[in-house]
Amino acid sequence: MSDTTQASPMKAADGTPLKKSLTRALRRQKLRALALIAPLLIFVLVTFITPIADMLFRSVENQIVHDTLPNTVRALRDWDPASGEAPAEPVFRALSVDLQVATELKQHTRLGTRLNYENPGVSSLFRSSGRGADKIGKDFQDRLAGIDPAWKEGETWAAIFGSDEWLAADAAWAADKSGSQPAFRMREGIDEALPLAAHAFLMFAKDAEGAGKSPATTKPWPVFSDALAQDLESNPNPDPAALPAAEAPLIAAASAAVAGVEPFSYRDAFLAMNKGWGEVGTWETIQAYSSPYTAGYFLNAVDLERSPDGIAVRPPEERIYIKLFARTMWMSLLITVSCLVLGYPVAWLLANLRASTSNLLMILVLLPFWTSLLVRTSAWKVLLQQQGVINDILVWLRLVDDAGRLVMINNQTGTMIAMTHILLPFMILPLYSVMKTVPPTYLRAAKSLGATPWTAFWRVYFPQSIPGIGAGSILVFILAIGYYITPELVGGTEGVFISNRIAFHISSSLNWGLAAALGAILLGVVLLLYYTYDKIVGIDNVKLG
């Protein structure tokens, strides 16, 4: 009896085991706490983490080649670029179907743009061939329609490729367009019996559904005929079990007709369209970038490229990014140092002058801080240019002659001066807030113990201001390496940063993958610096106030 009482768990007032009741109460408490921070958490996730994750993903994403040319990529797997010859007929047959489908979906030029980043000239190759490939399909369509006009009707194709249930549901939906459109379902086994045509029809059905139309009543694409002819040529007697009974004779007649005609050379047709298809380089690019993920953007971002013998350094006339990264780092460092040198005495004055004077000084620090960035940058343009205020004064004072006006803008000097001025408050404010907490009695005590003013400053005051220096420097440096408006306006060619190239690729060249890779590297560098700083100085020593 006593054994059983000891083994039974303690119970709460309502009879549930105490342990269970406790965990439930704790969980409720945690959930309530989570609900409190949820708005902020969701906000940060949606506006900060997701875009960054998306950007990082874009820098390696490369699904477009695989998605647009699935059959070609598969056929190209066995081709060896070292053979020195463009691929053989099967690849061109697959390309014909893929390119026609892509043209209908308006994807081919998008793919051309993507591959053009790697191989200039591919863009126009795809654009011009889209029209040509369409013509091949139309020829086949005409021939097929000559055998039986039923091939011109969307219903015929839908009946072959759609499953019976879908056909019934789609017909019912198309009659009055009420309710939701039934999603396309493919007939069982048809993708093995007629693989290319089934693929083309699937893309067609998805496209028609996307536009809210019934695939059965939409005008069929010419590519179906081309794909069907290819399928029947490689397999003249497709599995009858996979075909719908009503359309089987139609297919048999088409198969007989295909067997009767002379084979069509897709390779010759494509080469006649554009001789770019005969170049090994074109195919090498397609093959090299056929995987859904690529390191290509990152290689490009560090001045490397893929070459036949592995990864190689780009030719010197194309190397810019490493140089820009290095310049961005070096100049940001210089800007940080000059902010520190200029800001430290000001912060010291702010912290140690009488309240009325220091308030006035504080306003002088904050006033530019509140002024628009563009206004301040443009003001520097007016001041620094060769016919500008500073040069005019120097000439008037006869310190320089008219021909020897100083070049202070559109170079690194311009960027340095303008950015130091713009970022100065970010150095002064953290320094000030730390210095404010250093009691003036320490300095007096040091002096009364016999220290010279310098020793008192260096041994007593300075070490206590280090957290402020750390905070200000990190702030200024991280802001500086991401700046692009000021360098763009006053930097000329020598004073621009990596961010200017990122902005260029985002809005002008539209090479978002490369922009993402450059951005990811920049992010990586910042995190690395932060980590190093934490290891050396310790992030706990940083004080912002």
Partner 1 sequence: MKVLSAFAATTALTLAAGTASAIDLTFVSWGGAYQNSQLKAYVEPYVAEHPDVNVVWDESSDAAVAKLRAMNEAGNLTWDLVDVTVADAMRLCDEGLAMEIDYDTMLAPAPDGTPASEDFGDFLLSDCFIPQIVYSITFGYRNDVAEWNGATPSSVCDVFDTTKFPGKRSMYKGPLYNMEWALLCDGVAKEDIYNVLGTDEGVERAFKKLDTIKDQVVWWTAGAETPQLLADGEVVIGSTYNGRLFSVIAEQNQPVSMLWDAQIYDLDGWIVPTGLPEDRLAAVKDFLYFGTDTQRLADQAKFISYGPARKSSAPLVGKHAELGIEMAPHMPTDPANATNIIMMDFPWWADHRDDLDAKFQAWLAQ
Return residues touching partner 1 (CB under 8 A): 106-107, 109-110, 112-113, 116-117, 120-124, 127, 316-320, 323-324, 385-387, 410, 488, 492-494, 501, 506-507, 509-511
Cβ proximity to partner 1, 188 vs 318, nearer residue: 318
Residue 313 sits at φ, ψ, to 5 deg, of -75, 140
Give me the residues paired with residue 151 across strands. Answer: none
**Min. distance of Cβ 204 from partner 1 in angstroms?**
16
Smallest gap, in angstroms, from Cβ of residue 191 to partner 1? 27
Which residue in 249, 257, 259, 93 sits closest to 156, CA to CA? 249
Structure tokens at 487: 């360098």
Residues 6+ apart with CB under 8 A from 383: 389, 390
User: In the complex with partner 1, which residue's Cβ is closer, 306 or 501?
Assistant: 501
Q: Cβ of residue 297: shortest distance to partner 1, in angstroms?
A: 13
Pairing of strands 304-307, 310-313: antiparallel
CB count within 10 Å of CB 311 equals 10
Return the number of the residue (180 or 387) whose C-beta is nearest partner 1: 387
In the complex, the smallest distance separating the C-beta of residue 152 from partner 1, rounded to whole angstroms, is: 24
Query: In angstroms, rounded to a whole number, what is the distance separating the alpha carbons of residues 178 and 524?
Result: 53
Return d(Cα 65, Cα 513) in angstroms, integer: 14
Closer to partner 1 at the Cβ: 120 or 263?
Answer: 120
| Cα(351)–Cα(429) distance, integer angstroms | 10
Closest distance of CB 492 from partner 1, Å: 7
3-state SS assignment for residue 440: helix
Residue 311's φ and ψ, nearest 5 degrees, are -85, 130
Decide: 518 and 501 in contact? Cβ < 8 Å: yes
Distance CA(282)–CA(55), nearest Å, equals 28
Buried b (16+ CB within 10 A) or exposed e, 243-281: bbeebeebbbebbebbeeeeebebbebbbebbebbebbe
Q: How far is the CB of 212 from partner 1 (least distance, A)?
A: 12
Residue nearer to partner 1 on the CB measure, 70 or 492: 492
* Rg (alpha carbons) of the chain, rounded to whole number: 36
Compare residues 9 and 120 and give the one whose CB is closer to partner 1.
120
Indicate the DSSP class of residue 262.
Answer: P
Of 105 and 280, the one with the shorter C-beta distance to partner 1 is 105
Provide the token pair at 286: 């397609």
Q: Which amino acid is at 125?
A: L
C-alpha distances (whole Å) from 99 to each of 80, 163, 172, 195, 313 are: 22, 26, 33, 16, 33
What distance in Å separates the CA atoms of residue 534 and residue 471, rounded to the nearest whole number? 12
Three-state SS letters, 165-210 = HHHHHHHHHHHHCCCCCCCCCECCCHHHHCHHHHHHHHHHHHHHHH
The residue among 111 and 419 lying less far from partner 1, judged by its C-beta, is 111
Amino acid identity of residue 12, one-letter, is: A
Residue 197 CB, shortest distance to partner 1, in Å, is 24
In the complex, the smallest distance separating the C-beta of residue 184 from partner 1, rounded to whole angstroms, is: 21
Cβ closest to partner 1, residue 49 vs residue 528: 49
Nearest distance, CB of residue 127 and partner 1, angstroms: 6
CB-wise, 155 or 494, nearer to partner 1? 494
Of 134 and 494, the one with the shorter C-beta distance to partner 1 is 494
What single-letter DSSP state applies at residue 459? I
Tokens encoding 104: 């209908």
Nearer to partner 1, 123 or 465 (CB): 123
Nearest distance from C-beta of residue 493 to partner 1, angstroms:
4
Closer residue to partner 1, CB minimum distance, 28 or 106: 106
Q: Please state the closest distance from residue 107 (CB atom) to partner 1, in A.
A: 8
Least CB distance from residue 323 to partner 1, whole Å?
6
**Distance of alpha carbon 258 from alpha carbon 367, whole angstroms:** 82
Residue 376 Cβ vs partner 1, minimum distance, rounded to whole Å: 18
Q: Is 148 helix (H, G, I), strand (E, B) or coil?
A: coil
SS (H, E, C) 78-94: HCCHHHCCCCCHHHHHH
